[in-house]
């Protein structure tokens, strides 16, 4: 039995990280794919837990070796899914969650993998998204503006996903995503 591949996308600040953390707590059979990135770690982020933090040169070496299932450039940095993350999860019979943006999701769709389900997590409104990004306080105003511009583009693509879940109330959103993973 192969596990499911669950793709979750959603604009920066939509609460995706929190939803994912709660899902992983609830379901021990679900593992998060750790991506590789060239962006700087935020305070409290650890190499190998949130991301594998690598240099641009190292990342480009991985692209050339075909080690990545998909990758993209997002706000000036590379992000990609190592193939080994999927293999590891599936060998152990676990479902795997990919927290990736829209281009990555499109590339995963194109890869034609079995047992794939895609979910878009949306904020209740664009204004709410702006508020949450400012409150989070981890990015400069300039980065926030770039992320908001990107969010607009991402929101326009949500109909390409199998499911759209609105993160208005956190617990409800977690329940909805959990239900989809378990039953779809
Ligand atoms: P952040 O910098 O906030 O951690 O992530 C920025 C965006 O990159 C998020 O939308 C996240 O889903 C996406 N992302 C993280 N890892 C990957 C990956 O491996 N591939 C792709 N395509 N996007 C990723």
Alpha-carbon distance values, 167 to 4, 5, 104, 123, 149 (Å): 23, 21, 21, 5, 19
Q: What is the pLDDT of residue 65?
A: 98
- What is the mean predicted confidence (pLDDT) over 32-53? 96
Closest C-alpha to ligand 1, atom 15: 100
CB of residue 104 inside a 6 A radius of ligand 1: yes
CB of residue 85 inside a 6 A radius of ligand 1: no
Q: What is the pLDDT of residue 75?
A: 85
Q: What is the pLDDT of residue 184?
A: 87
CB of residue 39 inside a 6 A radius of ligand 1: yes
CB atoms within 10 A of CB 91: 10
Q: What is the pLDDT of residue 165?
A: 98
Alpha-carbon distance values, 168 to 1, 17, 42, 126, 128 (Å): 35, 14, 26, 12, 9
Q: What is the pLDDT of residue 90?
A: 86
- What is the mean predicted confidence (pLDDT) over 101-130? 95
Picking from 7, 5, 3, 27, the residue whose alpha carbon sits closest to that of residue 106 is 7
- What is the mean predicted confidence (pLDDT) over 80-85? 97
Q: How confident is the model at residue 28 (pLDDT cuts 50, 70, 90)?
A: very high
1 pLDDT above the threshold of 70: no
Q: What is the pLDDT of residues 167-178, one digit of tens each?
A: 999 999 999 999
pTM of full prediction above 0.85: yes
- Gap from CA of 79 to ligand 1 centroid (Å): 6
CB of residue 81 inside a 6 A radius of ligand 1: yes
Mean pLDDT of the chain: 95
2 pLDDT above the threshold of 80: no
Closest C-alpha to ligand 1, atom 24: 100
Q: What is the pLDDT of residue 138?
A: 86
Q: How far apart are CA 29 and CA 47, in angstroms?
A: 23
Q: What is the pLDDT of residue 7?
A: 98
């Amino acid at each position: 039995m192969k596990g499911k591949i669950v793709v979750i996308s959603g604009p920066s600040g939509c609460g995706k990280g929190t939803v994912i953390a709660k899902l992983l707590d609830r379901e021990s059979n679900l593992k998060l794919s750790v991506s590789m990135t060239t962006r700087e770690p935020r305070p409290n982020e650890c190499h190998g837990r949130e991301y594998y933090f690598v240099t641009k040169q190292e990342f480009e070496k991985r692209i050339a070796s075909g080690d990545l299932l998909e990758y993209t450039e997002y706000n000036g940095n590379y992000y990609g899914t190592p193939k080994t993350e999927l293999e590891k999860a599936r060998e152990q019979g676990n479902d795997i969650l990919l927290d990736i943006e829209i281009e990555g999701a499109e590339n995963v769709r194109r890869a034609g993998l079995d047992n794939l389900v895609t979910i878009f997590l949306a904020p209740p409104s664009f204004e709410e998204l702006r508020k949450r990004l400012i409150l989070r306080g981890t990015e400069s105003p300039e980065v926030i503006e770039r992320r908001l511009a990107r969010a607009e583009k991402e929101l326009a693509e949500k109909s390409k996903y199998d499911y759209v879940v609105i993160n208005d109330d956190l617990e409800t959103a977690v329940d909805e995503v959990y239900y989809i993973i378990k039953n779809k």
